[in-house]
Amino acid sequence: MNRWLMSALACLVIAPAWGQGRSAALANDMPEVEKIRFCERVRDQALLALYSRDQGRPMRLIAEDGSAGARISNHITRRIYQEPQINSPSQAHAFGRATCIEMMGVKTPPE
């Protein structure tokens, strides 16, 4: 019984370490279409960050879990809060899209 319990606890402790090693490779293994769809969702995140900043709300960041999505979204949110020249929804969309495409390494950006 003790061995079974120790084995189960060891698996629970080691499992997050296995997942972190694969998250960086996931961005490289992701097909271009999925990268483009992800960047469309990040554009929405950029727009929400702009509205929150304009209304004086504090910056809302996503919990960093080692994934590319959280890292890119947080980077875009921080930059929108830091740069007052991004002051319209179209600028926030363009900035979010361009930054995401650059960070994800999309080879053929959509029109």
For 47-88, what is each residue's pLDDT tens digit? 999 999 999 999 988 888 888 888 999 999 999 999 989 999
Distance, CA of 111 to CA of 98 (rounded, Å): 12
Q: Is the pLDDT of residue 24 over 50?
A: no
The neighbour count for residue 92, using CB atoms within 10 Å, is 23
Q: Identify which has the larger pLDDT, 96 or 111.
A: 96
pLDDT of 41: 86
For 33-50, what is each residue's pLDDT tens digit? 888 888 888 888 899 999
Which of 42, 32, 27 has the alpha carbon at shortest distance from 110? Answer: 32
